[in-house]
Amino acid sequence: MKRRGSSGRWLDRQRKDQFVKQAQDGGWRSRAVFKLEEIDKRDQLIRPGQRIVDLGAAPGGWCQYAARKLKGQGTIIGLDLLPIDALDHVELIQGDFLDDEVLAELSDKVQNKPLDLVLSDMAPNFSGIRDADLARSYELAELALDFAVKHLGQGGAFLVKVFQGADFESYRDQLRAAFAKVAIRKPGASRAESRELYLLARDPISDHNEQEQD
């Protein structure tokens, strides 16, 4: 029977996707790991001994990658609304980041100790209504930024997924007001047709008077 509809196109795309095959061959939980890997290799984000929080962590590929880089030295906390299979050296929370109780649980695990890196690959369940979906995605990005600003220590970094649209410049301005350096990253594993970008913000500027962008 001939396959029809978006689900069929998605399956065809998955079968042809080189990063899907590489993830399967390498034992990774998702192709998204190669996005983080490329950014990490370029910007040297992850090192043993760090304290890391991963927001929107399911199915766990970014946590998995970070755990391999930390080599058992450091802390990783992953949070997602969806369940995530257990990972060695990773603490996992299942819950909605928009829920105050879940956020309190995450804050308790952070234990008021400064974080080195906050990752956010969060995205809403898309409705197909573009403006509404973009607005919801930036709501999540703003909440992730609030969390990062509150919990990152000196020299910390924040990597967040955003989508090109009307709110992009405004959100980037928020990052520039909070961090000394802000850069745009479009890793090769991001599909060409996707409007997703990653913004990398480094070094909270509470102790800085000048900012740099690249």
Binding region for S-adenosyl-L-methionine? 60, 62, 80, 96, 121
Tokens matching residue 156: 């910390």
Q: pLDDT value at position 17? A: 67
Per-residue pLDDT reduced to its tens digit, 117-169 = 999 999 877 777 877 888 899 999 999 999 999 999 999 999 999 999 889 99
How distant, in Å, are the alpha carbons of 136, 138, 145, 193, 201 from that of 174? 17, 12, 9, 26, 10
Per-residue pLDDT reduced to its tens digit, 43-68 = 999 999 999 999 999 999 999 999 99
How is 76-143 classified by DSSP, letter by letter?
EEEEESS-----TT-EEEES-TTSHHHHHHHHHHHTTPPEEEEEE-------S-HHHHHHHHHHHHHH
Q: pLDDT value at position 16? A: 58
113 is catalytic: no
CA distance 92 to 57: 9
Among candidate residues 21, 69, 113, 161, the one labeled active-site is 161
CATH number of 28-213: 3.40.50.150
The answer to whether residue 107 scores a pLDDT higher than 70 is: yes
Q: pLDDT value at position 79? A: 98
Q: pTM value?
A: 0.86
Domain ranges for the chain: 28-213
The answer to whether residue 193 scores a pLDDT higher than 80 is: no
For 81-90, 173-182, 203-212, which range has the lowest pLDDT when averaged over its residues?
A: 203-212
